[in-house]
Chains A and B, each alone.
Chain A
């Protein structure tokens, strides 16, 4: 099955700085993919490369099996909602829908109209006078109504208040349930992604730190606590991601292929939040020690 997004050693450099470096990913279709990382980690760069707004400096990227932005047919298969959901402030919602109809051969005008009605928006209103949440919903409508196979969203809820944020995610999930679109959603807040993602990519300082199915990730990471000891004694199939020690106690976050059988440990499951934070912390340490690197879990 063709991957929704496939990159190999992908990199993008601006002058001396690598905004994205050595990114190798394979994102399957049919999932809601959370792309998480701090600001400046390269999330926007990755998404812009995927929609063809930029060309890579190194490596390759394939979107739904073809080059990004290559020709109208490829552009029609991918929908995009950019950060801050740009719209033409002087044009009304209705005119934006007309733009969608004119510029997209696969435009579903009924779907667009229905969504705008359901959202309770007046089509004659200029998008410049809408609230942030309303504009985000309009941008989502525009991206959805062209019936893409893949929908990419760059921090669509970052600037929204909690209610608008919840309504946006509700809308988005309804769209997935109804149309089966693959979604890649970036955010610097894990909480947003925890509810909706079933595939996670952690991007820190322009590198992919972690990528995998959420269920598999949560099933293969554990929090171990017990009497203080040296973690290098752990079995080979267990890898320490994060560790902290007091004078009496050790707490570790480990990745393990199999169950933890050592009875000296108290074993607890890990939340997605803890997992992402642990890998982000590891990334910070990796900056000083490049031996550690990509962790990929299928």
Chain B
């Protein structure tokens, strides 16, 4: 059974983090159809978050057709996510590695690189607010 983590500093809503972690687990093969997701009670017993948050995340996953609740038994995975094509992943890994090389050559340290990366992610995925 997978275990959820919570990143309180990321600015991403808790329920979204849970959804994303399920997506990642499906892509990495940690979750397969037939596996049971942790119960809301188990999740909140570890993370100390509101159970409604977990239920909301599971409802979103159900809407996406990835999981299905079985009354009295729990929530189960019914579909796997198509993993991203390994060739595509490798292509972007290569691009990023080149970029890292240029950044280092320009004198950026790991902290600078991390800050740039986080800002870019936040701006790009949060732009939908306005």
A touches B in complex, CB < 8 A: yes
- The answer to whether A166 and B48 touch (CB under 8 A), given A178-B41, A269-B129, is yes
Contacts of A271 in B (CB 8 A): 11
Which residues from 1 to 22 on chain B have a C-beta closer than 8 Å to any C-beta of chain A? 6, 8, 11, 14
Whether the pair B50, A267 counts as a contact (CB closer than 8 A) is no
The distance from the CB of B86 to the nearest CB of chain A, in whole angstroms, is 35
Whether the pair A198, B45 counts as a contact (CB closer than 8 A) is no
Cα–Cα distance between A178 and B52 once the two chains are bound (Å) = 12
Whether the pair B48, A170 counts as a contact (CB closer than 8 A) is yes
Chain B: which residue is nearest A271 at the CB level? B11
Q: Mark contacts of B93-111 with chain A using CB atoms, 8 A cut-off: 1 yes-contact digit, 0 otherwise.
A: 0000000000000000000
> What secondary structure prevails in chain B residues at the interface with A?
helix
Q: Mark contacts of A192-208 with chain B using CB atoms, 8 A cut-off: 1 yes-contact digit, 0 otherwise.
A: 00111110000000000
Interface size on A, residues (CB 8 A): 25
The distance from the CB of B85 to the nearest CB of chain A, in whole angstroms, is 33
Whether the pair A174, B44 counts as a contact (CB closer than 8 A) is yes
* Interchain CB contact (< 8 A) of B52 among A198, A222, A268: A198
Interface size on B, residues (CB 8 A): 21
Cα–Cα distance between A259 and B129 once the two chains are bound (Å) = 8
Q: Mark contacts of B35-48 with chain A using CB atoms, 8 A cut-off: 1 yes-contact digit, 0 otherwise.
A: 00001110011111
Whether the pair B49, A173 counts as a contact (CB closer than 8 A) is yes
Whether the pair A198, B50 counts as a contact (CB closer than 8 A) is yes
Cα–Cα distance between A287 and B40 once the two chains are bound (Å) = 43
Contacts of A189 in B (CB 8 A): none
Q: Mark contacts of A176-200 with chain B using CB atoms, 8 A cut-off: 1 yes-contact digit, 0 otherwise.
A: 1110000000000000001111100
Q: Is A53 an interface residue (CB 8 A)?
A: no
Cα–Cα distance between A250 and B46 once the two chains are bound (Å) = 41
Which of B11, B40, B45, B54 has the most chain A CB atoms closer than 10 A to its own CB? B45
Whether the pair A170, B50 counts as a contact (CB closer than 8 A) is no
Chain B: which residue is nearest A183 at the CB level? B50
Q: Is A169 an interface residue (CB 8 A)?
A: yes
Q: Is A260 an interface residue (CB 8 A)?
A: yes
Q: Is A236 an interface residue (CB 8 A)?
A: no
- The answer to whether A177 and B51 touch (CB under 8 A), given A267-B130, A269-B126, is yes
Whether the pair B129, A195 counts as a contact (CB closer than 8 A) is no
Whether the pair A222, B129 counts as a contact (CB closer than 8 A) is yes
* Interchain CB contact (< 8 A) of A268 among B6, B41, B49, B129: B129
Which residues from 197 to 227 on chain A have a C-beta closer than 8 Å to any C-beta of chain B? 197-198, 222
Contacts of A268 in B (CB 8 A): 126, 129
Whether the pair B130, A173 counts as a contact (CB closer than 8 A) is no
Whether the pair A177, B41 counts as a contact (CB closer than 8 A) is yes
- The answer to whether A196 and B41 touch (CB under 8 A), given A267-B129, A267-B130, A269-B126, is no
Cα–Cα distance between A31 and B50 once the two chains are bound (Å) = 9
Contacts of A31 in B (CB 8 A): 52
* Interchain CB contact (< 8 A) of B50 among A171, A173, A178: A173
Whether the pair B51, A261 counts as a contact (CB closer than 8 A) is no
**14 intermolecular pairs with C-beta atoms under 8 Å apart:** A32-B50, A32-B52, A169-B48, A173-B49, A173-B51, A176-B44, A177-B51, A194-B8, A195-B47, A196-B49, A197-B50, A198-B53, A269-B11, A269-B126
7 shortest A-B CB distances, which residue pairs?
A173-B44, A169-B48, A177-B51, A177-B41, A174-B45, A170-B48, A177-B40
B residues whose Cβ falls under 8 Å from a Cβ of A: 6, 8, 11, 14, 39-41, 44-54, 126, 129-130
A residues whose Cβ falls under 8 Å from a Cβ of B: 31-32, 166, 169-174, 176-178, 194-198, 222, 259-261, 267-269, 271
